[in-house]
């Protein structure tokens, strides 16, 4: 059974850091593009970052570029999102997504990140 399980969310002060993890199972992890999305309160879901199967290419939303780093460890079937210099507007539920063009998308349950003083 396919599973994507996010962890690492929580409450953090502005300027602080968190590292999100997404543990994958039930599919060939290394063949999927992995992405992090987020859903802020009262806003639409947005793509935060993506990373190719081999980890050789990444992309970021303009709002997080330079602050967030996406990475993956294919030996551990895990993708990470290191979030630095967090801002109030980073508050959202963060979702892990696995995508392969010829199969389908898989989604995790999400983990809450709250940036607050």
- Block means of pLDDT (10 residues each) for the chain, length 117 residues? 96 98 97 98 97 97 98 98 98 97 92 97
pLDDT at 104: 85
Q: DSSP per residue over 59-109, as a string?
A: EE-TTTTTTEEEEEETTTTEEEEEE-S--GGG-EEEEEEEE-TTS-EEE--
pLDDT at 22: 98
Listed residue (87, 51, 56, 95) closest to 69, CA to CA: 51
pLDDT at 103: 87
- Within 8 A by CB and 6+ apart from 52, the residues are 33, 58
């Amino acid at each position: 059974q396919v599973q994507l399980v996010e962890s690492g969310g929580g409450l953090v002060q502005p300027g602080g850091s968190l590292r999100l993890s997404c543990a994958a199972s039930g599919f060939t992890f290394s063949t999927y593009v992995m992405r992090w999305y987020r859903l802020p309160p009262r806003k639409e879901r947005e793509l935060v970052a993506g990373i190719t199967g081999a980890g050789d290419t990444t992309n970021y939303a303009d709002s997080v570029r330079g602050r967030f780093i996406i990475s993956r460890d294919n030996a551990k079937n895990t993708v990470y999102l290191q979030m630095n210099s967090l801002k109030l507007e980073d508050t959202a539920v963060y979702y892990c997504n696995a995508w392969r063009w010829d199969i389908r998308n898989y989604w995790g349950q999400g983990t809450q990140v709250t940036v607050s003083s």
